[in-house]
Chains A and B, each alone.
Chain A
């Protein structure tokens, strides 16, 4: 059994990188390997917006991450500074920045780049998308 850390840099809509990250993670888990965390950086943080509303006949990547995380008890971590710059805020971020609403899903936690680095240190493979 090997331990993977997945880094998602691609945007939730407009690129297929996040979709590949999801499919790859599903395979890692189905093959019995471990995922230390999924770290969303750069435009990848848009995956965590609970306000993503794709049409009913389109793939809902945000929902798919939530479902996968729930099913496998996965850690979905947003880089907080990358998220703030792109308008993805947790309740706490919204309060601290005097914004009227938050949009980050509760299934994603806000973290720092330090979590990515420690994740890389304790994993066998880093795979970026």
Chain B
């Protein structure tokens, strides 16, 4: 068992990076790895409700983020500074996630066995 931290740093629409990162995160968790997830930079936009990616020809994978806890992914952190920068309050989060300081995220990164960025 390894501690794997998956960092999302790209916006949800306009690229497929997060979708493939999410697949990796869930698969790692189902293979009994200890997975944690971080949203930083524009990836904090994943937390917003009311998105309709199919309107621009993308798959709606966002609802899958709600299933993270079903996969035993308990640590889901959102970069406080990025959320603030894009004007998103934690009360608006569309799925279970916690605001975290850069120091908290840094600690998570240091503690992980592997860190992958999508």
Q: Do chains A and B touch in the complex (CB under 8 A)?
A: yes
Interface of A toward B, CB cutoff 8 Å: 7, 41-42, 81-82, 85, 112-114, 116-118, 120-121, 126, 128
The answer to whether A121 and B2 touch (CB under 8 A), given A41-B20, A128-B116, is: yes
The number of residues on chain B lying at the interface, defined by a beta carbon within 8 Å of a beta carbon of chain A, is 15
Residues of B within 8 A of A81 (CB): 23
Per DSSP, are chain A's interface residues mostly helix, strand or loop, or mixed?
Answer: helix
Does B114 lie within 8 Å of A126, measured CB to CB? yes
Residues of A within 8 A of B23 (CB): 81, 113
- Cβ of B110 < 8 Å from any Cβ of A? no
A107 CB → nearest B CB, Å: 23
Interface readout for B80-118 with A: 1 if CB under 8 Å, 0 if not? 000000000000000000000000000000000010110
Q: With A and B bound together, what is the CA distance between A85 and B61 in angstroms?
A: 15
Interface of B toward A, CB cutoff 8 Å: 1-2, 4, 16-17, 20, 23-24, 27-28, 31, 33, 114, 116-117
Candidates B20, B31, B117; contact of A117 at CB < 8 Å: B31
B102 CB → nearest A CB, Å: 22
Query: Could you list 29 examples of A-B contacts with CB < 8 Å?
Result: A7-B116, A41-B24, A42-B16, A42-B17, A42-B20, A82-B20, A85-B16, A112-B27, A113-B23, A113-B24, A113-B27, A114-B27, A114-B31, A116-B27, A117-B24, A117-B27, A117-B31, A117-B33, A120-B2, A120-B4, A120-B28, A120-B33, A120-B114, A121-B2, A121-B33, A126-B114, A126-B116, A128-B116, A128-B117
